[in-house]
Amino acid sequence: EAGVTQFPSHSVIEKGQTVTLRCDPISGHDNLYWYRRVMGKEIKFLLHFVKESKQDESGMPNNRFLAERTGGTYSTLKVQPAELEDSGVYFCASSQVLQAQGQFFGPGTRLTVL
Partner 1 sequence: DAKTTQPTSMDCAEGRAANLPCNHSTISGNEYVYWYRQIHSQGPQYIIHGLKNNETNEMASLIITEDRKSSTLILPHATLRDTAVYYCIVRVANYNAGNMLTFGGGTRLMVKP
Per CB under 8 A, the list member of 69, 108, 111, 113 interacting with partner 1 is: 108
d(CA 97, CA 28): 9
Enter the DSSP assignment of 71: G
Least Å distance, CB 108 to partner 1, is 5
Round to whole Å and give the CA distance between 46 and 88.
13
The mark string for 22-51 relative to partner 1 (x by CB under 8 A, - otherwise) is ---------x-x-x------xxxx--x-x-
List of residues contacting partner 1 (CB under 8 A): 4, 31, 33, 35, 42-45, 48, 50, 55-56, 59, 91, 93, 95, 97-108
